[in-house]
Amino acid sequence: FNFVRRNRIISALSKVVFIAEGSLISGSLSQYNHAKRQNKIIMTLKPENLNSKNAELPNKIMKDGYHVISSYEEILKILEKNGTKSSQMRIDNV
């Protein structure tokens, strides 16, 4: 069993794929590509250091026009806009 297949399955089972960081040769890139092919909601954070190696993938996600979030409330708004009601969401320890 390898990580690329695992990423495809995790993406398929998810409504949203959230990628916090990663380079353009990381496993996160695989996750991102699966999410795009599967038409998933994709979110990322704006990196503090836009020039770091781990900012490469978030920079690509932002350039590609996906959601850049900065708060929990933004995540909820995006999910509600895409058909998930707040009553269906359960997030612990936020």
Which residue has 């916090």 as its token pair?
A: 20
Higher-confidence position of 85 and 88: 85
Helices 56-63 and 27-37: crossing angle in degrees, nearest 10, is 20
Mean pLDDT along residues 56-83: 93
β-bridge mates for residue 41, sequence order: 16
Give the distance from CA 12 to its chain's centroid: 13
Mean pLDDT along residues 9-38: 93
And the tokens for 29?
């890139």
Domain ranges of the chain: 3-81
Question: How far apart, in whole angstroms, are the C-alpha atoms of residue 24 and residue 14?
Answer: 22
| Strand ranges, E, within 1-94 | 16-19, 41-45, 67-69
Which residue has 């704006």 as its token pair?
A: 46
Yes or no: is domain 3-81 CATH 3.10.129.10? Answer: no
Ranges 59-63, 65-69, 74-78: which has the least confidence? 74-78
State pTM to two decimals: 0.82
Answer yes or no: is pLDDT of 94 > 80. no
